[in-house]
């Protein structure tokens, strides 16, 4: 079973100006991440705009990732849907394509309780023989995986091997770690600012959007941690604060994609209606890039 750890790049889906998938650029970006030393690549997450793609497009993206990666690093794919039935079906197709790890967001929109969340993930684990990383993002889904629920699933489902927490609440990460400390289970930060602190608390790494902009910086956080060079790790972790501050200008997905384009990586627009970043915001983002990250422009 694939070991869930390290810096996992939450990759954007490269698109043409008309919103269609840009396969050539997507393949280029996959290699850019691998060349930077990421531990895995992840398609169809929040930054991959899974929420605005139809099933065939999702399958096409997975096939491109599996083909281009060619076994060099694990491929994670987001397969979470609102219904359990659809989540299982898409996850089974992901396995057939050759995806290594499933990232499964909680069902969203309709209110859901912890028993329903438990049954959803338990049913998935019984139906698909792949490692599953649960994805907790309550601000966007309206559902929050309670630490006790995560602990119960970790104990009862051998292929539920991790959880990504994007709540931004470090205490939630600490509780996940505490609830799963007696099992072979990985707690990952979905908040780039908390990756090092998650590692120091006993977690295994992070799934990072900022890797689209600064892949080598994100990789260095983990590598310095492994070497025991905590001062360098803290410096690398702190260095991403200026670009994260730009999230105040809009949807973080849109800001990250805008910044990626501005450093000379033509990943294209977000699919409409999203991605409308003002000229004022673009100017501010470019100023941050020029001030703090000029050495990365064009890389």
- Residue 275 confidence class, pLDDT cut points 50, 70, 90: very high
Instruction: Specify the DSSP element, H or E, that contains 75.
Output: strand 75-78
pLDDT at residue 266 tops 80: yes
CB 141 within 8 A of CB 106: yes
**Percentage of residues in the chain with pLDDT exceeding 70?**
99
Which pLDDT tens digit goes with each residue over 41-82? Answer: 999 999 999 999 999 999 999 999 999 999 999 999 999 999
Q: Is 135 in the active site?
A: yes
Which pLDDT tens digit goes with each residue over 152-161? Answer: 999 999 999 9
pLDDT score, position 251: 92
Residues 6+ apart with CB under 8 A from 104: 78, 79, 80, 87, 91, 121, 124, 132, 133, 134, 135
Per-residue pLDDT averaged across 173-185, rounded? Answer: 95
Average per-residue pLDDT for the chain: 96
Per-residue pLDDT averaged across 152-175, rounded? Answer: 97
pLDDT score, position 57: 98
Which pLDDT tens digit goes with each residue over 242-254? Answer: 999 999 999 999 9
Per-residue pLDDT averaged across 126-144, rounded? Answer: 96
Q: Is 158 in the active site?
A: no
**Percentage of residues in the chain with pLDDT exceeding 90?**
96
pLDDT score, position 295: 78
pLDDT score, position 298: 61
Q: Distance (Å, rounded) from C-alpha 218 to C-alpha 84?
A: 34
pLDDT score, position 123: 98
Active-site residue (options: 118, 135, 224, 225): 135
> Which residue reads 């396995």 in tokens?
95
Phi/psi of residue 226, nearest 5 degrees = -60, -35
74: left (phi over 0), alpha (psi -120 to 50) or beta: beta
Which pLDDT tens digit goes with each residue over 192-229? Answer: 999 999 999 999 999 999 999 999 999 999 999 999 99
pLDDT score, position 178: 98
pTM score of the predicted model: 0.96
What the block records as the tokens of 274 is 């999203």
Per-residue pLDDT averaged across 161-183, rounded? Answer: 96
CB 296 within 8 A of CB 276: no
End-to-end CA distance of the chain: give it in Å, rounded.
33
pLDDT score, position 2: 85
Active-site residue (options: 164, 222, 224, 293): 164
pLDDT score, position 96: 98
Long-range own/partner contacts, residues 118-125 (CB < 8 A, 24 or more apart): 118/149, 118/152, 118/153, 119/84, 120/84, 120/87, 121/153, 121/157, 121/160, 122/153, 122/156, 122/157, 123/84, 123/88, 124/84, 124/87, 124/88, 124/91, 125/153, 125/157, 125/158, 125/159, 125/160
Q: Distance (Å, rounded) from C-alpha 70 to C-alpha 1?
A: 17
Residues 6+ apart with CB under 8 A from 178: 147
pLDDT at residue 134 tops 90: yes
- Residue 264 confidence class, pLDDT cut points 50, 70, 90: very high
Q: Distance (Å, rounded) from C-alpha 274 to C-alpha 179?
A: 37
> Which residue reads 């983990």 in tokens?
222
pLDDT at residue 299 tops 70: no
Which pLDDT tens digit goes with each residue over 98-127? Answer: 999 999 999 999 999 999 999 999 999 999
If one compares 2 and 106, the residue with the highest pLDDT of the two is: 106
């Amino acid at each position: 079973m694939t070991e869930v750890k390290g810096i996992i790049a939450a990759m954007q889906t490269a698109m043409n100006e008309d919103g269609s998938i840009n396969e050539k650029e997507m393949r280029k970006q996959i290699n850019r991440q691998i060349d930077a030393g990421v531990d895995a690549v992840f398609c169809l997450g929040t930054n991959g705009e899974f929420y605005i793609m139809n099933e065939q497009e999702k399958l096409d993206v997975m096939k491109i990732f599996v083909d281009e990666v060619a076994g060099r690093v694990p491929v994670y794919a987001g397969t979470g849907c609102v219904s359990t039935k659809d989540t299982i079906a898409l996850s089974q197709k992901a396995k057939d394509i050759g995806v290594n790890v499933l990232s499964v967001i909680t069902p969203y929109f309709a209110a859901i309780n912890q028993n329903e969340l438990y049954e959803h993930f338990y049913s998935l684990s019984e139906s698909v023989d792949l490692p599953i990383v649960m994805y907790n993002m309550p601000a966007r889904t309206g559902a929050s995986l309670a630490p006790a629920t995560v602990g119960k699933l970790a104990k009862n489902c051998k292929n539920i091997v991790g959880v990504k927490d994007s709540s931004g609440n470090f205490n939630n990460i600490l509780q996940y770690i505490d609830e799963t400390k007696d099992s072979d289970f990985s707690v990952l930060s979905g908040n780039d600012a908390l990756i090092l602190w998650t590692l120091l608390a006993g977690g295994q790494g992070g799934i990072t959007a900022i890797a689209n902009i600064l892949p080598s910086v994100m990789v260095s956080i983990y590598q310095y941690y492994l070497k025991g060079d905590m001062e360098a790790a803290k410096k690398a972790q702190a260095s991403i604060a200026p670009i994260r501050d730009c999230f105040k200008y809009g949807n973080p997905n849109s800001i990250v994609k805008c910044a990626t384009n501005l450093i000379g990586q033509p990943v294209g627009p977000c699919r409409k209606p999203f991605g409308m970043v003002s000229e004022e915001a673009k100017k501010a983002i470019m100023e941050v890039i020029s001030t703090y990250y000029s050495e990365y422009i064009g890389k």
